[in-house]
Amino acid sequence: MVKKKVEKNKPVVKFPASILKPIADFLKGEAKKLELRKKSLSQADPFNDPDRVIDNASPDTDASEQFGHQTVSALKSQIDRQLIQIRKALTRIKIGKYGICESCGKMIDTDRLMVMPETTLCAECAKKKEE
């Protein structure tokens, strides 16, 4: 980690580019995988089936379609949230703020970043946010 002095005795901590590039490449790869997963989920949505009968007389078929659609919608929503976090982390890499908690401004523990490279909060702030 490189420390730069900006203001009076207030060092700014930044990860070196040699560490950030593989992280950015990994995050971009994860984003592509999520986009592909989202696309395959859309194709699996029973509401998108061209053979679907809209005026369905069978309640069990309709319930099955509803359940399948709700499941797909929930999974796509979760993927959207993950994509937002990844894009946010990539932006933070680009502007030089990756690894810095967006809430308190302290360094995020590197162990936490290894497990969740898209995180923008330190463990303490994430815990406070959950409460």
pLDDT digits 0-9 by tens, 55-88: 555 666 667 777 778 888 899 999 999 999 999 9
Q: Please, where are the H alpha helices in 5-130?
A: 17-44, 59-95, 110-115, 123-130
Q: What is the pTM of this model?
A: 0.73
Judged by average pLDDT, the poorest of 54-68, 85-99, 110-124 is 54-68
* pLDDT of residue 2 exceeding 50: no
Domain boundaries, the chain: 2-46+59-130
- With 0-12 / 13-18 / 19 or more C-beta atoms within 10 angstroms meaning exposed / middle / buried, residue 99 is buried
Q: Which CATH number is 2-46+59-130's, of 1.10.510.10, 3.40.50.2000, 1.20.120.910, 2.100.10.30?
A: 1.20.120.910
What is the residue whose two structure tokens read 């592509």? 32
